[in-house]
Amino acid sequence: MEHFISVNDIHSLKQAVNLAREIKQNRFGFRHTGKNKTMVLLFFNSSLRTRLSTQKAAMNLGMNTIVLNVGEESWQLETETGVVMDGDKPEHLREAIPVIGSYCDIIGVRAFARLQDRNEDYSEMILTQFVELAGVPVVSLEGATRHPLQSYADLVTIEELRKTEKPRVVLTWAPHPKALPQAVANSFVEWMSKTGYQLVVTHPEGYELAPEFLGDVQVEYDQKKAFEGADFIYAKNWSSYNQYGQVLSRDRNWMVDAEKMARTNQAKFMHCLPVRRNMVVSDEVIDGPDSVVIQQAANREVTAQAVLKMMLESL
Ligand code: AN0
Ligand code: CP
């Protein structure tokens, strides 16, 4: 594997799941694979799980890790091309990227959608420059349009828990006070579309995902109907793609609660975290026996380790 930006960087999902499960059984079995290799993790945005799990994954492989919060701990970086740099940003990405690349063997980058300009976000302006200029493999720690490390962990979690060959997996929009990117939802749909699962997406009108991600996936605007017979409920908020970056609905009736979960086939409740309790999901559901959010987060370590192992082996 050269870069890890989307599901297309994985040759076989089946093998990827098997590798993650093998690593989970024996995390330190490959502790020499990354000897004398360094990973830099660069964050333009906040993180709890991604920074800890990816760092831990790299350490399990014997790598050295350096974490940098851009702006807070480094110079503010200019990301726009062709601008006169007379503002408050002293350094441009175009120098910073190859400099960072010269100190490491793999770069991880988190650069969320800014939700201002759809073309800019959907062109993955920042990640693309890393791939072009780093000179080393790049791992997306959540880009503007995708969060592949999250989706990989989600897939492994479903594989661990599914009771049928083709579970009914429902991605449901849920309310949130702030505008969030579509990345987690896009990526989840992109990965799930490559499995044999029955995937359904439910959201209020106006929250349709980008057609290139949604493809021919079933959309059900009636959330209660979508929940019928579900084996997995994956909750996530995202802002509008069509009215780009806007919050169109604050309808609290879309929160996942016990009454809705009762319509499912005793579905497992999933969320990538961080989650706003009693906005996205009720305490009762997230604290209940069918909530698998902690298992999901724990799987971030093993899937990140699988990605880094595949990358190290092709260096
Ligand atoms: C981010 C998002 O929705 O993309 C990160 C999720 C992993 N969430 C928030 O900013 C709350
Ligand atoms: N799920 C996830 O990526 O969490 P963080 O934003 O805390 O890294």
Collect all residues with Cβ–Cβ distance below 8 Å to 249 and sequence separation of at least 6.
Answer: 175, 204, 206, 207
184 lines ligand 1 (CB under 6 A): yes
Give 10-residue mean pLDDT values along the chain (315 residues).
97 98 98 98 98 98 98 93 96 98 98 98 97 98 98 98 98 98 98 98 98 98 98 98 96 97 98 98 98 98 98 96
> Ligand 2 center to residue 165 CA distance, Å?
29
What's the pLDDT at 161? Answer: 98
45 lines ligand 2 (CB under 6 A): no
pLDDT tens digits for range 266-278: 999 999 999 999 9
Using alpha carbons, select from 308, 292, 233 the residue that is nearest to residue 264. 233
Residue 92 tokens, joined: 């441009």
Identity of residue 288 = G
CB 110 within 8 A of CB 47: yes
Cα 148 from Cα 181, distance rounded (Å):
14
What's the pLDDT at 190? Answer: 98
Task: Pick the atom of ligand 1 nearest to 180's CA.
Answer: 3
What's the pLDDT at 169? Answer: 99
> Ligand 1 center to residue 140 CA distance, Å?
14
